[in-house]
Amino acid sequence: MAKQEIDLSKHDISVAKIIRNASPARYYEEAIRRDSGSAISSSGALVVRSGKRTGRSPADKRVVNSDNLNEEIWWGNVNIPLDERTFDINRQRATDYLNTKEQLYVIDGFAGWDPNYRLKVRIIAERAYHALFMHNMLIRPAKEELENFGDPDFVVFNAGKFPANRFTEGMTSDASVDVNFKTGEMVILGTEYAGEMKKGIFTVMHYLMPKKNVLSMHCSANEGDSPDDVALFFGLSGTGKTTLSADSNRKLVGDDEHCWSEDGIFNIEGGCYAKTINLSREKEPEIYDAIRFGTVLENVGYDPETRAVDFDDTSITQNTRASYPIDYISNAKIPCTAGHPKNIIFLTYDAFGVLPPVSRLTPEQAMYHFISGYTAKVAGTEVGVTEPEATFSACFGAAFLAWPPSKYAEMLAEKMKKHNASAWLVNTGLTGGTYGTGSRIDLKSTRAIISAIHNCALEGVSTETDNVFGFEVPTQCPGISSDILIPRRTWDDPEAYDRQAQKLGKLFQQNFEHYKEESSEAIAEAGPDVRIRENS
């Protein structure tokens, strides 16, 4: 599908050769020829290295503070403001560097499966691996669509091999990822990690879609046998968002980024970007089998002789990744659109061992937990550190939000109410004690809970009200022992559980102080009430 005739002069780019929307095979050839460290694995996937940065650089992300954005953007640590002059300096730095190359790669594609809302995106990059990555992650245009693509809505200048000037005002390192909503451009300097392009486009959709009354969401989605049986899975890294949505009994709509319009939901992307650390066919067969020719394996270790991949190898990074077209998943739904969600599932890994495996949320509780975006990380390897660490990320994806979290929460509440969607909190973390004592809720039990939600098997069952968090906890669920459903009963010392529940409740309250002023009284009161424990 490669089409060479393309004029990039409007982007201030003029090089001898442009390879546009080539086939994966062509990108393989280019990567092997030009990218040191690239190799073809025994499964047929392309193994690449992203250089010294093996993950996103959120501290180096900037959003241009144009006059029309002052009252819209959620300014702060997530969206650090950058003046227009500095953006122009970085853009000039990127284009000057790209113009020194004899050859560049261009990918033209779409963000958003619904034609009414899709964004035309152009990627200009130096590395073939970056082109193949975005070939996978964007929605690939048909031949006629490519021929009539026209001017893009948004352009990414990926000059990641060339550093930012750390002495330029507003720069904090030699990396800079700058988004300019006014000009429809993004500039990448000093980082070759491909995920910056993917998440940059997600940030753009997070800004543009709410303007059209479309809710953009950091979630996975799947569909059952009925078109009205749609589920959304929200969750931070490690909670099971990708694993639980890849269900052999349901069709996968997408694994990471979606929008909810008046017509239903649609995937933003044309591919998946899955973590591969400790990947096995036994645990995640759909993802394992998607790693074949056309897939990009980023920073994954392999045997230099046999080219066999070692998914347990973390010598480069623990953030090993695979990028592949969504149709590599056998039960993917193409086109990636579906009806209105029936169930909203918030996933959390609670390392404190406090939260139940499943709880039903009221609309107000759903908004509280959506804004909170809670999970917990196991303590690190520092001497004497044994406590888990609570992590809160608004809307389960604060790093990618453009508007304040309350805007997305209000839109979610409105859509859930209009379409009568149910909300659930599912803990995929510990039971029977905190970290060091408790054990992780096994994947089989969690899958049984998710199936029960899909099949409406939790409707009408008896429940108990959680004394601290206030949500209704089912006391029975098909396929799992009722013993684990009420977490206090799984602890050897119930009073120790009470203390831990109170501690976690206080952490929720402290975090929500950041959002209290912009939230309604009903939502604020839907959080934990630690006074119940303190006064008892």
Q: Which range is least confidently modeled, 203-217, 299-313, 383-397?
A: 383-397
Indicate the range of 196-200, 368-372, 429-433, 530-534 predicted with least confidence.
530-534
Determine the Cα–Cα distance for residues 79 and 203; give it in Å rounded to an integer: 10
Tell me which amino acid residue 148 is. N
Mean pLDDT of 75-102: 97
- If you average pLDDT over residues 458-468, what whole number do you get? 95
Residue 2 lies in a domain: no
Phi-psi region of 293 (alpha: psi -120 to 50; beta: other; left: phi over 0): beta
Mean pLDDT value across residues 85-98: 97
Per-residue pLDDT for 532 more than 70? Answer: no
Say how far apart CA 132 and CA 225 lie, in whole Å. 33
Among residues 53, 56, 130, 415, which one is catalytic?
A: 56
Domain edge (last residue) among 337, 362, 390:
337
State yes or no: pLDDT of 379 exceeds 60.
Answer: no
Residue 454 is among the residues annotated as catalytic for this protein = no
For strands 154-159 and 46-48, give the pairing: unpaired
Q: Which of 198, 199, 275, 415 is catalytic?
A: 199
Q: What SS3 string covers 172-220?
A: CCCCEEEEECCCCEEEEECCCCCHHHHHHHHHHHHHHHHHCCCEEEEEE
Same domain, 252 and 327: yes
Q: Are 322 and 387 part of one and the same domain?
A: no
Q: Exactly one of 14, 23, 172, 237 is catalytic; which is it?
A: 237
What pLDDT score does 283 carry? Answer: 84
342 is catalytic: no
Average pLDDT of the segment spanning 402-428: 96
Catalytic (active site) residue 3: no
Report the distance separating Cα 261 and Cα 44, nearest Å.
38
Residue 428 within any structural domain of the chain: yes
Is 460 inside any structural domain?
yes
Instruction: Let me know: does 477 contact 458? Beta carbons within 8 Å.
Output: yes
Residue where a domain stops, chosen among 318, 337, 356: 337
Residue at 372: amino acid letter: S
Whether residues 249 and 381 share a domain: the answer is: no
CA atoms of 190 and 445, how far apart (whole Å): 44
| Residue 17 confidence (pLDDT) | 96
Q: Position of tokens 């501690």?
A: 503
DSSP state of 45: P
* Active-site option among 35, 229, 255, 256: 256
Residues 331 and 453 reside in one and the same domain = no
In angstroms, rounded to a whole number, what is the distance separating the alpha carbons of residues 10 and 456? 55
Q: Which amino acid is at 181?
A: F
pLDDT above 80 (res 2) = no
* Per-residue pLDDT at 388 exceeds 50: yes
* Contact status, residue 422 vs residue 342, Cβ threshold 8 Å: yes
> Does any domain span residue 4?
no
Asked whether residue 394 is assigned to any structural domain, the reply reads yes
Per-residue pLDDT, 183: 96
3-class SS of residue 299: coil
242 is catalytic: yes
Q: Would you state the structure tokens that stand for residue 308, as one six-digit string? A: 């066999």
CB contact at 8 A, 233 and 347: yes
- Exposure class string for 101-118: b at 16+ Cβ within 10 A, else e: eeebbbbbbbbbbbeebb
CA dist 256 and 491 (Å) reads 34
Q: Report the pLDDT value the prediction gives residue 36, as an integer from 0 to 100.
A: 86
Rounded Cα–Cα distance for residues 422 and 41 (Å): 44
pLDDT over 70, % of the chain: 96
Last residue of some domain: 311, 337, 363?
337
CA angle 202/192/117 to nearest 5° reads 20
Q: Which of 242, 276, 445, 446 is catalytic?
A: 242
Pick the catalytic residue from 122, 198, 241, 454: 241
Cβ neighbours for 383, distance < 8 A, ≥ 6 positions apart: none
Q: Give, rounded to a whole angstrom, the gap between the first and last alpha carbons of the chain.
A: 70
pLDDT tens digits, one per residue of 223-239: 999 989 999 999 998 89
Q: pLDDT at position 3, please?
A: 46
- Above 80 in pLDDT, residue 296? yes
pLDDT of residue 533: 42
DSSP state of 344: E
Give the Cα separation of 376 and 366 in Å (integer): 19
In this structure, is residue 177 part of a structural domain?
yes
- Looking at residue 386, its pLDDT comes to 55
Question: Has residue 1 been placed in a domain?
Answer: no
Average pLDDT over residues 444-451: 96
Do both 144 and 254 map to the same domain? yes
CA within 13 Å, CB half, 17:
8
Contact, 221 vs 230, CB < 8 A?
Answer: yes
Question: Can you give the residue range of the structural domain that contains 143?
Answer: 9-261+265-337
Residue 3 lies in a domain: no
Q: How far is it, in rounded angstroms, from Cα 531 to Cα 468? A: 8
Q: Is 243 assigned a catalytic role? A: no
Does the annotation mark 321 as catalytic?
yes
pLDDT on residue 381: 32
CATH code of 371's domain: 3.90.228.20
Tokens 């690939």 belong to residue: 140
320 and 347, same domain (yes or no): no
What is the model's pLDDT at position 1? 45
Task: Identify whether residues 176 and 324 lie together within a single domain.
Answer: yes
Same domain, 165 and 302: yes
CA–CA separation, 453 vs 360, rounded Å? 10
Residue 166 is among the residues annotated as catalytic for this protein: no
Pair (436, 469) in one structural domain: yes
* Under 8 Å between Cβ of 63 and 87: no
The pLDDT value given to residue 531? 67
Residue 380 pLDDT greater than 70, yes or no: no
Tokens 């853009």 correspond to 91
Q: Are 270 and 109 contacting, i.e. CB atoms less than 8 angstroms apart?
A: yes
State the chain's mean pLDDT as an integer.
94
What are 16-60's pLDDT values in tens digits? 999 999 999 999 999 999 998 899 999 999 999 999 999 999 999
List, for residues 183-221, the tens digit of each pLDDT value: 999 999 999 999 999 999 999 999 999 999 999 999 999
- pLDDT tens by residue, 105-126: 999 999 999 999 999 999 999 9
Single out the catalytic residue among 61, 93, 258, 321: 321
* pLDDT value of residue 107: 98
What the block records as the tokens of 434 is 């905190």
Q: Cα–Cα distance between 134 and 122 in angstroms, integer?
A: 10
Q: Work out how many domains the chain is built from and give that number.
A: 2
CATH of the domain at 305: 3.40.449.10
Q: Is 199 among the catalytic positions?
A: yes
Catalytic residue among 120, 218, 275, 369: 218
Is the bond leading into 405 cis (omega within 30 degrees of zero)?
Answer: no
The tokens of 372 are what? 């909170």
Identify the pLDDT of residue 124.
Answer: 98
Q: Do 319 and 366 reside in the same domain of the chain?
A: no
Q: In this structure, are 218 and 332 located in the same domain?
A: yes
CB 128 within 8 A of CB 31: yes
**Residues 313 and 351 grouped into a single domain:** no
